[in-house]
Structure 1
Amino acid sequence: MSPPHVAVANHKGGVGKTGLAQGLVTAAAEAGQRVLVVDMDSQGNLTRRLRARVPQAPEERAHASLASVLQRPAVGEVERILVPCGYDDPVYSERITIAPGHLELELLALTAGTAASEKRLLRALHGVSDAFDLVVIDCPPQLLSHQIDIAFSAADVLLLPCEPEYDAVESARRIYERIDRDRHTLNPDLAVAGVVPNRVRSNLVVHQKRLGQMSDMWGLAVCPVHVTELVAIKNQSENAQPLRSDGTDGRKAADTFRDVYDWARPRIDAVMGRA
Structure 2
Amino acid sequence: MTHPPPAALPPHIAVANHKGGVGKTSTTVGLAAAAADSGHRVLVVDMDPQGNSTRRLRARLPDALEDRAAASLAGILPAPARGAAASIVTPCGWPGHYADRIDVLPSDLDLELLGLTAGLPSAERRLLRALAGVVDPYDLVLIDCPPSLLSHLTDNAWTASDYLLVPCEAEYEAVQAARRVVERIDRDRHTLNPDLKIAGFIPTRFRANLSVHQTRLNDMAKISGPEYICPTKFPELAAMKTAAENALPLTECGSQGRDLAALFRDTYTWTRTQILRLEESAT
User: Which shifted more, 207-216 or 136-145?
Assistant: 207-216
Aligned residues: 274
In the alignment, which of 191, 196, 200 is matched to residue 202 of structure 2?
A: 196
Residues 158-201 of structure 1 deviation map (CA, whole Å, 9 limit, x = unaligned):
00100011100000000111001000000000000111101112
Aligned to 2:174: 168
Work out the CA distance in 2 between the residues paired with 1:262 and 1:228.
Answer: 19
1:233 alignment counterpart: 240
Of 3, 8, 26, the match for 2:10: 3
C-alpha deviations, 1:105-151, integer Å up to 9, x for none? 11011111110000000000001101100000000000101010000
1:112 paired residue among 94, 118, 121: 118
Tell me if the contact between 1:39 and 1:100 (Cα under 8 Å) persists in the aligned partners. Answer: yes
SS of residue matched to 1:203: coil
Structure 1 stretches of 5 or more lacking a match? Answer: none
Give structure 2 stretches of 5+ with no counterpart.
Answer: 1-7
Q: Work out which of the residue numbers 184, 195, 204 in structure 1 matches 2:190.
A: 184
Deviation of 1:10 after TM superposition, in Å, equals 0.1
**Kept after mapping to 2: 8 A contact 1:196/1:222:** yes
Match of 1:205 in 2: 211
Q: Match of 2:81, as an amino acid?
A: A
Match of 1:270 in 2: 277
Q: Residue 215 of structure 1: CA displacement?
A: 2.3
Determine what percentage of the aligned residue pairs are the same residue.
57
2:210 corresponds to which letter in structure 1? L
CA distance 1:60–1:269, shift in 2 (3 Å): farther
**CA deviation map 1:41-92 (0-9, x unaligned):** 000000000000111111111100001110100000000001100012x210
1:1-275 to structure 2, matched below 5 A, reads 1-88=8-95, 90-219=96-225, 221-273=228-280
Q: What amino acid maps onto 1:180 in structure 2?
A: D
TM-score between the two structures when normalised by the length of structure 2: 0.94
Structure 1 segments of 4+ aligned residues over 4 angstroms from their partners: none
Q: Would you say the 8 A contact 1:51–1:86 is kept in 2? A: yes
Take 2:90 and 2:259, find their aligned partners in 1: how far apart are those partners?
Answer: 29
The normalised TM-score by structure 1 is: 0.97
